Amino acid sequence: MLEIRPNCECCDRDLPPESGDAYICTFECTWCADCAGRFPDRRCPNCGGNLERRPVRPPHLLDANPAATGRVVSPDCASRYR
């Protein structure tokens, strides 16, 4: 099951579970649409994998299967991809 991380790893923007602006790689590195659009070939800057829109978990399933709350931020990402 996906973690559904709460933020963009580059700019720390909030990305709630219902957000259609979240992109992930196969390792679930999570990026907002703005940051993902800045990455060369729209590839994850951590692993090089392709980025796809993160699926939206239906609201009625969030109680039993909550989204993650731990934030992940890559400290130098914002300065590398402006």
Q: Is the pLDDT of residue 14 over 90?
A: yes
**What pLDDT sits at residue 75?**
86
Nearest by Cα to 46 from 79, 73, 65, 17: 73
What is the arithmetic mean of pLDDT over 8-28? 97
Structure tokens at 77: 């990402």
How far is C-alpha 44 from the chain's CA centre? Answer: 10
**What pLDDT sits at residue 43?**
96
**What pLDDT sits at residue 81?**
85
Residue range 48-78, pLDDT digits in tens: 999 999 999 999 999 999 999 999 999 899 8
